[in-house]
Structure 1
Amino acid sequence: MATDGKNRNGEVNGVNSVRNSMADNETKVEEGKKVEEEPDHPIDKGWAWVILGSTWFIAFIVIGIAKSYGIFFIEFLKTFKASVSATTLITTLQTVAYCGASVPVLAIYIKRYDTRNLAILATFGCALSYGLSSLADSITFLYFTQSLLFGAMSAGINAPNMIILGKYFKKRRGFAMGIVASGNSLGGFILPYLFRYLFDEYGLRGALLLTSGISLNCVTAACLLRPTEFYSKKKARKPSKTLGVGNECKEQQEKLLGDKDNHIPGVDDSTNISLSQPVLSTEDKTMGKTNFRVRSISYSPGHIDPTSSVSENKGSSSVLSLSSFTRYLSNGDIFSLSLQDMDIMRINSQQEEVKDQTKKPLQGCWRLCRYLTERDIFNCNLFRNKYFLAFVLAHCLGSLAPAFNHIFVPAYARDIGISDQNVATVASVISLADFFGRIVAGTLADVPWIRKTYLVAASQFIVGTMMIFSPVFNNFYLLVVFAVLYGLVGGALFTLFSPIMIEMVGLTNFPNGMLVVLVLQGVWIGGNASFMGYLRDLTDSYIVSLQYMGATSFISAAIFITVEVVRRCTAPTNQKDSV
């Protein structure tokens, strides 16, 4: 009896030592998980600033050329003798191509492949579109080069660049987005003078060919867009020093179950250890390590009757959760699985089968939504967020003025008798003021106590007011005043789009949210481009088109304010400060 007592005491000490060893290892596993949760790529530092510089340069060239389209628009009208509605169709088809190409890019490509290769291909395609446009002999040819080709290639530049920029910046995300957006405006300020000079010296075809050469410089900047997966692969090549982290830990995690009848004095009643295979410490002479052999340890207070029904064993899942704690030993010992655990797993599988049989099969669009969500193609749960839907509506309405202002304002200036050189000056002043306005908007977006939606709503209200009273600005100097005021506030909607979207749906769902906005915005802008061109041909003036854009901006501002007020009123008291 004394010998049995000593043996049992020794076994208890062995169990305690095993528990202590496993507890230490569990702590290391948890520490390892915390380390893994930290991103591998630099955030707000290091190569993130190279990413910012590259995306800024691409925006300066590609978007700057697009913002200078008002100069091209006038030359297209003069060279091809086409109507305003036919020439505006270039913008319509370009928007449709851009949104159509954005669907596979945002839904599939950027989730599975390298965005840098896409950026290189897209920047080269944009340069090619201007090179081919120099061969155009009619406005119809431009529908394929300027509209379809340029629009499709732009989808591989704008949205992926915003996504990779959002990954590299967190605390300074609003500032980074503002800097990149300012590149659009600075390009729109400098390039109109350059294009005016090229048109005067080399004509339309020579200017388009030189524009293609300028765009090729973006290929070099696209090569610097290092994807975040680069750092993950680099870290994976390094040997992991953390114990119990990775696939080896998962392979050695087992359920430790035992027998209730074999109780050891001195051990907690809720823990049962099988005496058929005692816990021993043995020396491995070849490896020089201490090996613990654990045959079966149970953390369950009782047995499950395998003959009982499923309904009688609803608590079996809790028993399994108590007994299924994972432990890691230093040498990868083999653990046994008891019959009791097999019974529990069989009962749980029966419960799952009963639940699956009671579910009603999904039909129609619900089945499609489930398929897209499960395949990680598109997260359809976004449509359950009512604030996201309201944001999409307000953004689409408000995007009409920023999208067409750089086209219709220069054309309006030419209609009222302003010279071509002064028209280029008006377009440049708009872009210069927009340059400073976007930087200010991005900086204010990072201020904690300033709501981004209020900034956007205020900017849309000012834009709407100026567009409604556009007939007042009927000479060059008044148009310069218009250009300054509009430029300071007009770009806030596009500048704060990414920070607001990421804040609303999260960085993971940001591509999905951007996809929804781009598709609906493309339909809205594409349809209104030809409609506003038709209004110009019908009334022989751009004033009605400008006032129409102002009305949509007013509606957008009202929606933004309403959504923000509803959010603050419906939020819990302890969350109103963070909403």
Structure 2
Amino acid sequence: MVPIDRGWAWVIVLVNFIIVSLIIGSASSFGLFFAEFMTEFQAPASSITIALSIQTIAFSISSLFALNIGRHFASNRTYVILSGIFACLAYGVSAVIPDVSYLILSIGVLFGIAHGFSYGPGLVELGRYFHKKRGIATSLAEMGVSCGGLVFPPVIRLLLDSYDLRGALIVIGGILLNLCVAGALMRPIAFYEHQQKDSEHDDGIWSTNSEMYSSGNIKDKAVYRNTMKNWASSQPDTHKNEYKENINAEDKVNGSSSCLGNMKQSLSSNRKGVVRNMCKKVIDIKVLRNALFRMWIPVCFLGVIGSVQILIFIPPHAKDLNISDGDIILLVIIVGVTNLISKLLMTLFVYCNCMSKHHMIAISMIITGVACLFINFYTDFLTMTILSAIFGVFGNVYFGLFPALLVDFVGLEMISGAMAINMLMQGLGLSISNPILGFLRDITGSFNASFYLMGITCIISGSILCFEPVCRKIEMRKSEGVSVESVVTHL
């Protein structure tokens, strides 16, 4: 029996907790390595941000592959195990590179693939194991983001002080190999389904097969073939293929060449249909007809810039202000602590239905953007703690609520297509903004202009959500029009 909402399902929660702790914790703490790479290679900020742009592109492409086309070739467990190998290689290669341009391959391509192969497949497997308790399970798993943000900064600082940059990168790469352990624990839910089907299969169908064929009755054989055909139509593709192979072998014995020709024709048409369906599953453009989702596209494109980049740029900006390394670690830890508190409060707000999700995202984005516009006033450790606390409380509300908000906008039927386009727009926003933010630092000599840009994008993103009532009215009119047309058609 499949352990839905019980048993091994809670191990899957632990697996997802480990995944987000390692992947997102290390990614959000990369700002500490950012400053070290600039010092080690005497490199401009733009050269490092280009690698981060490539990382977002690799993340978007690998996520789409693993969640859509790639699921036909390997299980989610396989992709998570592969992510541990790619993540270890990313940091291992970074430890031996002779020039900062090689970060495009290591931190850009390899770590981007690791991120895409781990985060999405883990959440998908979690959703399969939980039905009634899915919200609680997801919240517990996402706590790993805050825990990773609290643990990684002091660990990285300790490693940098003890083993220098290259030694710290090697150790972090070894830590990320624990993703392979998490993947090994991710038992696919198909494991239980196959067990159940195999037991039914052994007790029923095959025993009937032996009885029918032992009698030598041709009529019984036809009955068996029809029974197997009906059974195979309800099974996965692997069992369908087994059935087709058995029928092919029997037809060869009976000399039925016409049956083989028809089967080849049906197989070729099935292949074309599979390819067509897979292409449709990658991106479902029907969701673009939804006015609420069309409004959401610029929100996710602009909002992700501030929600992700501010934490990455806080450590190098603090270093430009001559804040000590120990105090920089405290700034990152403050972000993690306030982020954890924010997640608890956000869960309470959503549970009590005190405020709509789009209002919570809009307000948090505007507050974060305004805080960035006052970057000139953050000149020492004490004032930088204000920025860290504000970002920790409001900066990640977007990531905590956007999956549920998308369901409210487009419905469960179109959520896959909406999520795919959302991921593409987020990757596009980050890949475009990363080199621009680095270039602004190079030409101005400080990160102030970069924070101005991030603040403006956050304010615009939050302001667009104020048009949600207008777009919802448009969708309501569409639905009313469709319902009227259906009534007229029935009449």
TM-score after normalising by structure 2: 0.77
* Deviation for aligned residue 1:110: 2.8
Residue matched to 2:106: 145
Segments of 5+ residues of structure 2 without an aligned counterpart are: 202-207, 209-272, 481-491
* Deviation for aligned residue 1:505: 4.1
Bigger drift between 206-215 and 111-120 goes to: 111-120
Is 1:190 paired with 2:151? yes
* Deviation for aligned residue 1:570: 5.8
Cα distance in 2 for partners of 1:535, 1:233 equals 56
Residue matched to 1:179: 140
Residue matched to 2:317: 412
Deviations 1:271-297 (A, max 9, x none): xxxxxxxxxxxxxxxxxxxxxxxxxxx
Asked if structure 2 preserves the Cα contact closer than 8 Å seen for 1:460 and 1:490, the reply is yes
With over 3 angstroms needed to count, the CA separation of the structure-2 counterparts of 1:571 and 1:385, relative to structure 1, is closer
Is 1:224 paired with 2:185? yes
Secondary structure of 1:136's counterpart equals coil
Residue matched to 1:157: 118
Residue matched to 2:224: none
* Deviation for aligned residue 1:167: 3.0
* Structure number with higher helix proportion: 2
Cα distance in 1 for partners of 2:446, 2:175 equals 34
Asked if structure 1 preserves the Cα contact closer than 8 Å seen for 2:290 and 2:475, the reply is no
Residue matched to 1:455: 360
With over 3 angstroms needed to count, the CA separation of the structure-2 counterparts of 1:392 and 1:226, relative to structure 1, is farther
Cα distance in 1 for partners of 2:292, 2:178 equals 40
Superposition map of 1:380-395 within 5 A? 380-395=285-300
With over 3 angstroms needed to count, the CA separation of the structure-2 counterparts of 1:168 and 1:499, relative to structure 1, is farther
**Equivalent AA in structure 2 for residue 481 of structure 1:** I
Secondary structure of 1:137's counterpart equals coil
Bigger drift between 433-442 and 138-147 goes to: 433-442
Deviations 1:411-448 (A, max 9, x none): 11111221111111111111221122223324433445
* Deviation for aligned residue 1:226: 2.5
Cα distance in 2 for partners of 1:220, 1:534 equals 39
* Deviation for aligned residue 1:181: 3.0
Is 1:543 paired with 2:448? yes
* Deviation for aligned residue 1:534: 0.9
With over 3 angstroms needed to count, the CA separation of the structure-2 counterparts of 1:570 and 1:105, relative to structure 1, is closer
Superposition map of 1:97-496 within 5 A? 97-110=58-71, 113-239=74-200, 371-372=276-277, 376-448=281-353, 450-496=355-401
Cα distance in 1 for partners of 2:34, 2:439 equals 16
* Deviation for aligned residue 1:166: 2.9
Residue matched to 2:406: 501
2:438 to 533, 558, 561: 533
**Equivalent AA in structure 2 for residue 74 of structure 1:** A
**Equivalent AA in structure 1 for residue 298 of structure 2:** L
Residue matched to 2:27: 66
Asked if structure 2 preserves the Cα contact closer than 8 Å seen for 1:175 and 1:446, the reply is no
Asked if structure 1 preserves the Cα contact closer than 8 Å seen for 2:51 and 2:104, the reply is yes
Asked if structure 2 preserves the Cα contact closer than 8 Å seen for 1:107 and 1:378, the reply is no
With over 3 angstroms needed to count, the CA separation of the structure-2 counterparts of 1:505 and 1:571, relative to structure 1, is closer
With over 3 angstroms needed to count, the CA separation of the structure-2 counterparts of 1:74 and 1:421, relative to structure 1, is same
Q: Which has the larger radius of gyration?
A: 1
With over 3 angstroms needed to count, the CA separation of the structure-2 counterparts of 1:570 and 1:135, relative to structure 1, is closer
**Equivalent AA in structure 2 for residue 528 of structure 1:** S
Cα distance in 2 for partners of 1:450, 1:232 equals 41
Deviations 1:325-344 (A, max 9, x none): xxxxxxxxxxxxxxxxxxxx
**Equivalent AA in structure 1 for residue 56 of structure 2:** T
Asked if structure 1 preserves the Cα contact closer than 8 Å seen for 2:64 and 2:282, the reply is no
Cα distance in 2 for partners of 1:488, 1:461 equals 13
Deviations 1:70-123 (A, max 9, x none): 100011011011011112212111112212222322331236641111111112
Cα distance in 2 for partners of 1:447, 1:228 equals 33
* Deviation for aligned residue 1:503: 4.1
* Deviation for aligned residue 1:506: 4.7
Residue matched to 2:217: none
Bigger drift between 93-102 and 57-66 goes to: 93-102
Asked if structure 2 preserves the Cα contact closer than 8 Å seen for 1:69 and 1:407, the reply is yes
Superposition map of 1:81-92 within 5 A? 81-92=42-53
**Equivalent AA in structure 1 for residue 315 of structure 2:** P
Residue matched to 2:486: none
With over 3 angstroms needed to count, the CA separation of the structure-2 counterparts of 1:378 and 1:570, relative to structure 1, is closer
Cα distance in 2 for partners of 1:372, 1:383 equals 18
**Equivalent AA in structure 1 for residue 102 of structure 2:** F
Asked if structure 2 preserves the Cα contact closer than 8 Å seen for 1:85 and 1:530, the reply is yes
Moved over 6 A (4+): none
Deviations 1:372-406 (A, max 9, x none): 57865543322222222322321221111121112
* Deviation for aligned residue 1:568: 6.0
With over 3 angstroms needed to count, the CA separation of the structure-2 counterparts of 1:385 and 1:555, relative to structure 1, is same
Number of corresponding residues: 412
Asked if structure 2 preserves the Cα contact closer than 8 Å seen for 1:57 and 1:183, the reply is yes
TM-score after normalising by structure 1: 0.66
Asked if structure 2 preserves the Cα contact closer than 8 Å seen for 1:466 and 1:482, the reply is yes
Cα distance in 1 for partners of 2:303, 2:145 equals 18
Identity of aligned residues (%): 29
Asked if structure 1 preserves the Cα contact closer than 8 Å seen for 2:17 and 2:141, the reply is yes
Cα distance in 2 for partners of 1:201, 1:507 equals 50
Cα distance in 2 for partners of 1:438, 1:563 equals 24
* Deviation for aligned residue 1:468: 1.4
Bigger drift between 139-148 and 230-239 goes to: 230-239
Cα distance in 1 for partners of 2:354, 2:132 equals 15
Cα distance in 2 for partners of 1:231, 1:86 equals 49
Residue matched to 1:520: 425
Residue matched to 1:561: 466
Cα distance in 1 for partners of 2:469, 2:83 equals 37
Bigger drift between 502-511 and 147-156 goes to: 502-511
Asked if structure 1 preserves the Cα contact closer than 8 Å seen for 2:87 and 2:110, the reply is yes
Cα distance in 2 for partners of 1:72, 1:420 equals 12
With over 3 angstroms needed to count, the CA separation of the structure-2 counterparts of 1:473 and 1:44, relative to structure 1, is farther
* Deviation for aligned residue 1:196: 0.8
* Deviation for aligned residue 1:165: 2.5
